[in-house]
Amino acid sequence: MAKHQLHLRDIILLALIGIVFGVVYFAAGFVYNGLTVLLSPIGYGPMANDITIGIWCMAGPLAGFLFRLPGSAFLGEFLGATVEMFLGDQWGAATLISGFVQGIGTELGFTVTFYKIYNWLTIVMTTVMTTLVTFAWDWFKNGYSHFSGQMIIILLIVRFISVFIFSGILVKLIANLLQRAHVIKG
């Protein structure tokens, strides 16, 4: 039986996902800064963004796996970014643009499976789409177009691995735990 709308319990859970991941995203900013400082002397400072991007994209896939409704992945990601911004992250209102882009990328992954398949295929699809959409955004926003071809390939591979681990595997494990705990129906 398919769900066609969010109920009050779902809205509360979606808000909690946004709040929890907004705090996680805020904390990831410190990890990003530390990695930038560590990697810059060897010429790989920009890679800090690609290493941590998977963390910043977790709320969307989790919401998508839990609610299984069009738009839920986008909304989860955008709410997380909104909370991060209100906590006072270093990027200010630009965080909303990043949350928008990340949410679109994640939502496209669920769209490819027509919101009907919620297994490893969906994880791969959300990972690929989130990686490509966010990489395209960083191509313009962070000037990735100025890097050498080798650096671009390395950044893309690192980004894919980060998104796959954090927004794919880890999110699927969290969703499975919430389903087993009967927080949501599987």
Instruction: Convert the pLDDT of each residue in 125-162 to its tens digit.
Output: 999 999 999 999 999 998 999 999 999 999 999 999 99
* pLDDT, mean of residues 8-17: 94
* pLDDT, mean of residues 154-182: 95
CA distance 111 to 75: 14
pLDDT, residue 46, reads 94
Band of pLDDT at residue 183, cut at 50, 70 and 90: confident
- Which of 62, 88, 89, 91 is CA-nearest to residue 75? 62
Instruction: Convert the pLDDT of each residue in 80-135 to its tens digit.
Output: 999 999 999 999 999 999 999 999 999 999 999 999 999 999 999 999 999 999 99
pLDDT, residue 94, reads 95
CA distance 52 to 31: 8
User: How many angstroms from the chain centroid is the CA of residue 159?
Assistant: 11
Contacts of 84 (CB under 8 A, 6+ apart): 22, 23, 25, 26, 29, 95, 99
CA distance 30 to 89: 10
Phi, psi angle pair for 134, to nearest 5°: -70, -35
Band of pLDDT at residue 179, cut at 50, 70 and 90: confident
Reported in sequence order, the residue ranges of the chain that DSSP labels E, i.e. its strands, are none
Q: What percent of the chain has pLDDT over 90?
A: 89
pLDDT, residue 4, reads 72
- pLDDT of 1 > 70? The answer is no
pLDDT, residue 63, reads 96
- pLDDT of 184 > 90? The answer is no
Question: Sign of the C-alpha dihedral, residues 90, 160, 102, 81?
Answer: negative
Secondary structure (3-state) at 142: coil
pLDDT, residue 113, reads 92
